[in-house]
Amino acid sequence: MYKATITITLRTSILDVQGKAVEHGIHTLGMTNVGNVRIGKFVQLDIDAADDAEASRIADETCRKILANQVMEDYSFTVAKA
């Protein structure tokens, strides 16, 4: 059994409206030294696989096919034995 930890974010060329709203709220609180706030998704999956390579392949395929919109989002993941 493996655990995949996946991070999905909007591509840097895409305006992150939610991130901008949070950044504005942070500045409103007086924390003006914080900037370039980006909001993303964090996903964990348990994967039943024979080895690291298969678990990585399954995690990548899951990201490409359902979790990430490849037109607008980038993703990265790590896979470790659970």
- CATH number, domain containing residue 46: 3.30.1280.10
Provide the pLDDT for residue 64.
97
Strand segments, DSSP code E, in the chain are 2-10, 40-47, 73-81
Provide the pLDDT for residue 16.
97
Q: 27-71: per-residue pLDDT in tens?
A: 999 999 999 999 999 999 999 999 999 999 999 999 999 999 999
Pairing mode, if any, of strands 40-47 and 73-81? unpaired
Provide the pLDDT for residue 24.
98
Query: How far is residue 70's CA from residue 65's CA, in Å, rounded to a whole number?
Result: 9
Provide the pLDDT for residue 7.
98
Structural domain count of the chain: 1
8 A C-beta contact, residue 9 and residue 67: no
Provide the pLDDT for residue 81.
97
8 A C-beta contact, residue 1 and residue 47: yes
In this prediction the pTM is 0.87
Provide the pLDDT for residue 73.
97
Residue 40's nearest CA partner among 18, 59, 58 is 18
What's the domain range around 25? 2-81
Provide the pLDDT for residue 53.
97
